[in-house]
Amino acid sequence: MNKQSTRLAIIAVLSLVVILFCLFRPGSAPVAGSTQTARVETVVVVQIITATFPPNTATPEFTPTITDTPGPPTATVDVSALATKQAEAKLKGERGDGFYLVNVDIAPGVWRNDGSAADCYWSVNTATGDIINNHFGQAGGTAFIPVDAFQVQFKGCGSWTWLQ
């Protein structure tokens, strides 16, 4: 503790003594149930202890330092883009015989089949069942499915692969 700290401690103690003296000064407290005023004698004894400490010359053995330790970069996943790619891959996956709803089960575009049968049939239809385009005959060709088509049917053509 230096001289400045010692002085502040003495001032604080003396201030406390003055406050206590004002609160409990003689003659200020009436006795309960009495019409007369009694004097209360309060004696305050204050002992001020001062101590002198040598200056702090010790060097700390450990000084903590907060540093930002960079770790491996974290990948931010674009869930929307990932879902779109997964849905697109599902729509453009290989197809066999069956009925497929356009943009639900199958992607629009050009599809090619790898079959060799002579009774290959495919058709592209509207929502009312009207035929937009169809084929019956030798397998091994392509079919174009427009974006505004509703349904596609493949039968006996082998596997269908999306080209574009």
pLDDT value, residue 46: 53
Same domain, 106 and 51: no
As for how many domains the chain has, the answer is 2
Residue 46 lies in a domain: yes
Q: What is the predicted pLDDT for the residue at 96?
A: 92
Residues 53, 45: Cα–Cα separation, whole Å: 26
Residue 81 lies in a domain: no
User: Is 34 a domain residue?
Assistant: yes
* SS3 of residue 85 by DSSP: helix
pLDDT of residue 43: 55
Distance between CA atoms of residues 113 and 163, nearest Å: 10
Q: What is the mean pLDDT of each run of 10 residues along the chain (164 residues)?
A: 72 73 59 52 55 60 68 74 86 93 94 91 95 92 94 94 92
Ordered alpha helix ranges (H), 58-161: 79-91
Phi, psi of 154 (to 5 degrees): -120, 135
Looking at residue 159, what is its pLDDT? 94
**End-of-domain residue from the set 56, 79, 103:** 56
65 in a structural domain:
no
**pLDDT for position 33:** 54
The pLDDT assigned to 39 comes to 55
Tell me the residue range of the domain where 106 lies.
91-162
Together in a domain, 147 and 95: yes
Q: Is the residue at 68 inside a domain?
A: no
Residues 6+ apart with CB under 8 A from 7: none
Same domain, 52 and 107: no
> In 3D, which of 104, 117, 114, 118 has the Cα closest to residue 152?
104
Within a domain: 84: no
154 shares a domain with 97: yes
- Same domain? For 143 and 99 the reply is yes
Question: Tell me, what's the pLDDT at 8?
Answer: 72
pLDDT (tens digit per residue) in 44-81: 555 555 555 566 666 666 666 666 667 776 667 777 88
